Structure 1
Amino acid sequence: MKRKYVGLVAVAALALPLAACSSSSNAGGTDSSGNTVVNWSVWAGSEAETAAWKHVADLVHEKDPKITVKLQTAAWPDYWTKLPTQLAGSGAPCIAGLQMARVQQFANYFKTLDSSTLGTAKIATSDFDPSIIKALQSKGEQKAIPYDLGPYMVFYNKDAFKAAGLAAPQNGWTVDEFLTDAKKLTTGGKYGFAASNQIDALNQWGPTIGGDQAATAGGKLNLTSAGQVKTMKWYAGLVSTEKVAAPLATDSSDGTQFLGGNAAMYVTGPWDMINAKTQAKFDVGVVTLPAGDNGVTTAVGGSGFGITNKCSNIPAAEKALSVITGPEALGYLGEQGRAFPARTAEQSTWYKSAVDGAQSTLEAALKNGVPYRSTPTWTQVGLSYSQGAISVINGDGSAKSFLDGVESSSGQ
């Protein structure tokens, strides 16, 4: 999942263009060595993430020297804005990343992975967490094979807590405790929390603050509910009223404020452990989201990879898919901190490489977590939300009027 499911720092030099191939070369073309080329598109937000995906791509060639996987990456928000045009045109990749929140939107562009396809690829869905397997289905048809899943958690700067004379937060802490700590951590031009203008924030905090998410279980927008209005008012108040988070000036979908040491807490998922380990110059801890009126709960997401309908060499794609979602690949991603593996047998690899206390936090968050909810037009809704949320979060505008406007303009 990023997105983030949330990527962190965008690395332009390593983000290859998504539309870098034609329909004749997305799978079935050959490289200079005569190997079949399979183009694979996925999001990446840092050098470490890109290197991890490159390693997984190279595993395919190791397993089958006749196949070369060409990796194409883009930063999280760019990936989703470009993907619709790419999949509808001649530049579709053969294999593409698909997040559970966007399955319904893109389902028609992906091949159904039926029993015959899975059998040929030697992929057994029983080897994966059943919740994320189901989440990557559309109308009962499997559209992608998962590589990860995970709940949102609070990543925090242990050094900052110690310097402020604060005890480390414990799983099950409350919103009041969170605010008390955030206020003490806000000093000397640094803040206690890093806020975001992304709609993900409503699904991160909505279950514990307002008791719902930005979408219903049936896939309808839910922005005008009393719970969502309550959640956004509270969230915006962290910036405009409590002043424990910096005012937003531009897009804030990444964790640069946290990783740079300018904000002591940040909400993200297990997929960002790789960036915390490679970029933070301080000790990182993780804890559950604080409990609001509805207890300790948050959304749980996940992502996977599917074969696009434009793929011209299905057998090669099936072989590649079996490797990039296989035990070795997911075990490696777990070790790197890029994924809490969707394969249940490999999940311990993330625990072994993550920061101290991460296992108990993730398990606690999973226990009370609820599935991440979205709509068939989630990308468009998210873009509309992010464009207008900055001013509201900064205190210039009504949360209710803003949410009413986003939902009204969506046509749902």
Structure 2
Amino acid sequence: MAMIGGSGFMAKEFGPITYGQLIGISIAFLIGLVVLVSMGGNILGWMIAAVLLFFIPHLFGAGPKTRVVYGAAFFGFALVIGGALVNPAAIDALDDTEADAEGSFGAVSISYDGTGGLTITSSWSTDKDHSANKAYAVVDGMSRIVFGGIYLDSTLNKAPVYEMTGTTALTCNVPAGDLDMDKIYYIVLVEYHQNESGDWVQDLDTKSNALCTGAYFTGSESTMAWYGAAYGLAYTMAIFYFLVLATWFMRHRLLKTRKKMEAQGRLYPQGYGRCTFCGSIVLPGEVECRKCGAYIDRPESMKKQKHDMFQCTNCGAEVPGNADVCPKCGAKFDGVENEVQHIDGTVDVSDESVECPFCGAVVPANADHCPKCFKKLRE
């Protein structure tokens, strides 16, 4: 992947990092915060923020150690933004005992009876026939608020419900014993209709705004705000550090493979893989750049060692001058004697070779068996 800011001002060092990396980190901080503030109430926002936090500085050349440090810095900075600003503002917007309704309900009011119980009243829209429907108040506790996203103890179809009585003016009472004074509650007004099976089901198109009754209870809104911010950031940073660790591990494996291939002469050592004049890729064995024609200065480890060649007297193959054995027929050179170990354990030495009458292979003259076809040569 091409890096941004590999030269010029962007490549100048600013402490332990370059100006390019500093710019990339700043952009990632800003975009990550915008994503969390706007989409941080669900896991999709956490995933997008984590991926952007990882890839934007990566494009500017930030290494694994740099990412680990700025990831921790982002966690602390975003925690303050979410816990001290975003979440409290979202709770304040919901902490209201009177609100306009989006559905069939209006003039919603919640009053506290002083003993831990609630009385909920509302008007019921008359623009359609409600005679076959019922109105209920769904009461559920808030478990956390994550960058403005509300999380309840359960879902709307599983939370405790209280039937509202009346025709156009509705009311219901929530007993004190049903509520935990240490929590913050959500209340949603919604109609129920009877389906073909005779079961009463929610009609979510008619539901009212959710109302937070934190003004009446002792649940700590501050604790919920900080806990929610930490909750969302924990998932975000877990995804971020997983990407950092996974890419570091893959890069480490690739570097080990590269060193092995360099030792085998299958890859140029780092720094020799590109033409020094035009920057195009140079393959092992090339001595001239295919793009600009410049000479390729290869490292000594990749240069072939040249030797004088001579012809094998037994088979005629061309053999390097420093060879002791013919790579084709196996004959030994420079007076090196052929040792032949027989089945009975005795060893004979010979500096002559003969041709096997069965397969034509060149074998030592004193061999009992052909090493190629295993035919017996001598009685």
Bin of the TM-score, shorter chain as denominator length: under 0.3
Larger Rg: 2
TM-score, normalised relative to structure 1: 0.23
- Structure number with the higher strand fraction is 2
Higher RCO, Cα 8 Å, sep 6+: 1
- Structure number with the higher helix fraction is 1
